[in-house]
Amino acid sequence: MKRPQQLNNEINTAILFLLPSFAGFVLFILIPILSSFLVSFTNYSGSFAKIQFVGFRNYELIFSNTKFWKSIYVTLIFVASSVVFQLFLGFCFALILNRKIFGKVIFRSILFLPVVLSSVAVCMAFLFLFHPTAGPVNNFLMSLNLEPVPWLAHKDTALMSIIIVFVWQSFGYYMIIFLSGLQTINPALYEVADIDGASEFQKLVKVTIPGLSPVIFFSMIIALINAFKMFDHVFIMTGGQYGGGPADSTRVLAFDIYQNGFLFWQIGYGAAESVVLFLIILAITVIQYRFQRSWVSYDIV
Amino acid sequence: MLKKNVLLMLLFFICTVALIAGGGGEKAAEAEEGPVRVIFYLWDDPAYPPIIDAFNSSQDEVFVDAKWVSLNEYEAQISTLLAGGAKMDGYMQKRSTDIFAHYNNGYIAPVDGLADEFGFDLGEVSDYRDAISIDGATLAIPFRGASWYCYYNKAIFEKAGIPTPDTYVENGEWTWDKFIEVSAQLKEALPELPYGSFMYTWGSSNVIPALQNGIQFIDANGKVDINDSLINSYLYRKELEERGLIMPLTETKVTKTHYSKPFYNGETGMLLIGSWFPGHMLSGRDDGLLEGYEWGDYSLTRLPCDEPAYRTFGNPTFSHIHSKSDKKEAMFKFLAWMGGPEGAKIVAGNGLLPAYITDEVKAELSRILPDETAVKYYTEAKTVNPQFYNKYGSAVESELAAVMEEYLASDMSVSELRALLVKRLEQVAKQIQ
């Protein structure tokens, strides 16, 4: 039994060690979030000298603006597509690389490499690859007598191009997470399944996926949040500060926030949009947490 | 345990002191003797370094410490720098309509008092007074004039056997229909020529007929102001793209093709761009970028125009003194030099149209422009309509560009286009108060 003095000292030490991290959280996350929320009720445009409280005016403007709804639509399409493909590809490659195959360590490294590359470098590389007339991808397609794809140069294909690049860069991260999850599944469960005559598909559905469900749940949360926040791919690949894709086809909400705030000096309006984005992400995360009880199993391994 | 806590607190204290001391280092450095150093932000146009260098070497009272920002990201970066309170004494304004937001936010110091103190005659740039004044205060000194032109490659026209655009100008035939027709003639005569003409991605580049007509898009009272000249702008662009006479707008954006590239490469017969382009041509010549033609093989003339009397458009380029600068006099000396007769000669010598035109400036322009036709049209007196010139301007330009992309990628009818333009402009007027 520790003496009260010793306990106090240990608590103080713990607080001291946690202080820098907590200070960083408060300074760089909590305060900006609260500031955004407060600024969203003002007409702040870069100078505090002229700032005025405008109530819910920014929110009224947002919800009556077609550009905002288009951004929401594009964002939802992007999120749904990219999350599904990231998790699906990550899961498939994790299953493959969990087996005893030649060179699996090398393959793991290669597939994880895009995750650690700079987004700017990746996007610039794909801009070259996806060049509508001189890009290697279209040249390859034409060599196979296929029609070249306009990629980023057409409203019907621009968002798909961004999704391809985003998924390519990110799925390796989830592959590693799923791989580590697969290691924790008790091999005895597979032996029991073999004894019971389960097929490979049945083992996948009845053992692997339930065993991985906590990891899948975690990956879904992270993938959704990252997808909602995506900005740099749109910015770099669709024209920089005047981007947003052909006919705003890749104009995600994060990009709309950036333009309104940094280009048009409507910082209060942009802050209101960011609050809306925050609430959307929060709502989806809460819904996920609520429904996880029905399919996430923490006691299977 | 107590020792550990004391050690931790000591480390924290040292870090804090180091941070504060680091911030003070800059102030210590500034206390040195010598010319007054002013921090000036501007974008990385190739014509600007010689202007800065010329000022710095022409006197020893003021040294301009130029901070270069990427041309493509300048608007957003300068917004961040200004809102974040970055240390600066002055900056160049790239998107002239931002003067309204900057003035509203208190970033800009009026120059009237300094002009009187140093005897700078603002009347010499009175042509641009409206563009640099708000509420009676003069907020900037322009150093570049405003005008757009049709630049053309004489070698291409000669090869195609087609009269150059100045011929149509002289005959009073240089309309937008004629511009499209000439673009088509070039492509027909020279199938290997990628484009008959080239227009850039900016909102202004694509609504030139409307700007020449003088509509405000959204007037100062927040009312939408459009007419057929704006609709025609969209129709002309669509025709040019559908007939393959121009690089598609989205392709230009996606491939990040700078407007100089097709002209340097001899891939277009004509280019519609502003008065700063001779500076780019000088750089292109000096860097050996001109392909298939020589320096003297390009010229310029008026824009195509459907108006009864010729008019072009443009806003002057100007610079501001930052309101929080403690070196306003030094900054003013630089801006007054750049916008005055001495600076105008250097500006002209670098292929830019100065705001301050004198006989010496014209002589300098004669030296750097390729031929007499170019000098004639570059320096002629003309009506220059301001573009998007009110607080809605920045958002209007962006909106017009977005609608253009939407229109080009769809089968929208003219009435649908008009309705969409009105709707989008009304939303801008509602959003920006």
Q: How many other β-carbons are positioned within 10 Å of the β-carbon of residue A258?
A: 21
Chain A residues in contact with B324 by the CB 8 A cut-off are none
Does the pLDDT at position B7 exceed 80? no
Q: What is the pTM of this model?
A: 0.84
The shortest C-alpha distance from B85 to chain A (Å) reads: 10
pLDDT at B18: 55
- pLDDT cut 70: percent of chain A above it: 98
pLDDT of residue B29 exceeding 50, the answer is no
Residues A246-285 have pLDDT tens digits of 889 999 999 999 999 988 889 999 999 999 999 999 999 9
Read off the pLDDT of each residue in B330-347 and give the average, rounded to a whole number.
92
Contact check, Cβ <8 Å, A13/B1: yes
Does position B168 have pLDDT exceeding 80, yes or no?
yes
User: CA-based angle B204:B209:B212, to the nearest 5?
Assistant: 85
The pLDDT of residue B122? 79
**pLDDT value at residue A263:** 85
Q: What is the pLDDT of residues A69-126, one digit of tens each?
A: 999 999 999 999 999 999 999 999 999 999 888 888 899 999 999 999 999 999 999 9
**For testing the chain B interface, which of A45, A160, A249 should be mutated: the one with the most B CBs within 10 Å?**
A45
Q: Quickly list DSSP for A148-174.
A: PP-GGGSTTTHHHHHHHHHHHHHHHHH
**Residue B277 pLDDT:** 92
Q: Give A216's Cβ-side CA count (13 Å radius).
A: 19
Provide the pairing of β-strand B90-93 with B108-109: unpaired
All structural domains of chain A, each given as residue ranges with its CATH number in brackets, are: 58-292 (1.10.3720.10)
Of residues A178 and B20, more confidence is placed in A178
Band of pLDDT at residue B59, cut at 50, 70 and 90:
very high
**Which chain B residue lies closest to A43 (C-alpha atoms)?**
B433
Residue B25: its pLDDT value, please?
Answer: 47
CB contacts of B76 in chain A (<8 Å) are 241, 258, 262-263
Residue of A16, A46, A65 with shortest CB distance to B431: A65
Q: Contact A247/B410, CB-based, under 8 Å?
A: yes
- Residue B127 DSSP one-character state: G
Nearest CB neighbour to A43, from listed B98, B253, B433 = B433
Residue A226, CA atoms < 13 Å, CB-side half-sphere:
22
Q: Quick one: average pLDDT of A128-139?
A: 92
Q: Give chain B positions within 8 Å (CB) of A131.
A: 255
A214: which 2 tokens? 């906590």
Whole-number average pLDDT of chain A? 91
Q: How many CB atoms lie within 10 A of CB B307?
A: 14
Is residue B22 predicted with pLDDT exceeding 60? Answer: no
Complete domains list, chain B, with CATH: 31-146+315-357 (3.40.190.10), 148-313+384-431 (3.40.190.10)
What's the whole-number mean pLDDT along residues B371-387?
Answer: 89
**B75 to chain A: which residues are within 8 Å by CB?**
241, 263
**Would you state the pLDDT for residue B56?**
96
Three-state SS string across B46-62, please?
A: CCHHHHHHHHHHHCCCE
* Spatial distance between the Cα atoms of B38 and A12, rounded to a whole number of angstroms: 49
Dump pLDDT digits (tens) for A190-241: 999 999 999 999 999 999 999 999 999 999 999 999 999 999 999 999 878 8
More confident residue, B136 or B319: B319
pLDDT in tens, B174-221: 999 999 999 999 999 999 999 999 999 998 999 999 999 999 899 888
Closest B-chain CA to A129: B255
Closest CB to A153 among B104, B105, B251: B251
> B139 falls in which pLDDT band (50, 70, 90)?
very high
Secondary element (H or E) of residue B202: none
Contact call for A46 and B82, based on CB within 8 A: yes
Q: Judge whether residue B28 has pLDDT over 70.
A: no
| Positions of E strands within chain A | none
Q: Do A264 and B395 touch (CB under 8 A)?
A: yes
- Look at residue B257 in the predicted model and tell me its pLDDT: 92
Q: Are A266 and A45 in contact (CB under 8 A)?
A: yes
For chains A and B, CB pairs below 8 A equal: 119
Q: List the single residue in A13, A130, A240 with the smallest CB-CB distance to B73.
A: A240
- Complex ipTM value: 0.80
The per-residue pLDDT for range B396-411, each reduced to its tens digit, is: 998 999 999 999 999 9
Please list every residue in chain B whose beta carbon sits closer than 8 Å to the beta carbon of residue A258. Answer: 76
Q: Is the dihedral of CA A8, A13, A16, A22 positive or negative?
A: negative
Best to test chain B binding among A51, A264, A273 (most B CBs inside 10 Å): A264
Residues of chain A with Cβ-Cβ distance to B395 below 8 Å are: 264
Instruction: Choose from A149, A263, A269 for mutation: most chain B CBs within 10 A.
Output: A263
What is the mean predicted confidence (pLDDT) over A48-62? 91
- pLDDT of B358: 84
Taking the C-alpha atoms of residue A105 and residue A21, their distance in angstroms, rounded to an integer, is: 34
pLDDT score for A1: 61
Residues of chain B contacting residue A64, judged by C-beta atoms under 8 Å apart: 427, 430
Compute the distance between CA of residue B168 and CA of residue B162 in angstroms, rounded to an integer: 11
Residues in B touching A237 (Cβ below 8 Å): 254
CA distance B410 to chain A (A): 9
Quote the CA–CA distance of B83 and A184 in Å, as a whole number: 50
With CA atoms as reference, report the closest residue to A58 among A72, A74, A37, A73: A37
Q: What is the pLDDT of residue A2?
A: 57
Q: pLDDT over 90 for what percent of chain B?
A: 64
Confidence of residue A182 (pLDDT cuts 50, 70, 90): very high
Per-residue pLDDT at B344 exceeds 50: yes
| DSSP symbol at B322 | E
Predicted pLDDT of residue A101: 87
Least trusted range by pLDDT, from A114-118, B96-100, B229-233: B96-100
Q: Does the distance separating the beta carbons of A266 and B431 come in below 8 Å?
A: yes
CA distances from A64 to A60, A68, A75, A251, A282 (A): 6, 8, 18, 17, 22
